[in-house]
Amino acid sequence: EQLINKPVTGFAYPNGLPGTDYDSSAVELVKAAGFEYAVATTWGISTKATSTHDLNRSTPWDTQPGRFHLRLIRQMLRS
């Protein structure tokens, strides 16, 4: 925070696999520490029903916009 002169509001769980790398007690600790959101390494998209402290992630490393949009659509259909 001192380096960027802004508050850090997000947290990424180390390794990030729910139930293996962290559990509900870790989620509660992250909330208590004041983080607004946290991300796991679970592949997929997050919805309104997804906890803000247990967000899924996707792989947005496509170099073409069309492929990126297709990936998002595919993930939405799988959800």
Q: Token pair of 16, please?
A: 């990030």
Provide, rounded to the nearest whole percent, the portion of the chain with pLDDT above 70.
96
Q: Please report which confidence band the pLDDT of residue 42 belongs to, taking 50, 70 and 90 as the band edges.
A: confident
Q: Return the bridge partners of 10, or none.
A: 37
Q: What is the mean pLDDT of residues 3-27?
A: 94
Structure confidence at residue 77 (pLDDT): 84
pLDDT of residue 79: 66
- What is the value of pTM for the model shown? 0.73
What is the Cα–Cα distance from 11 to 29, expressed in whole angstroms?
Answer: 11
pLDDT of residue 71: 81
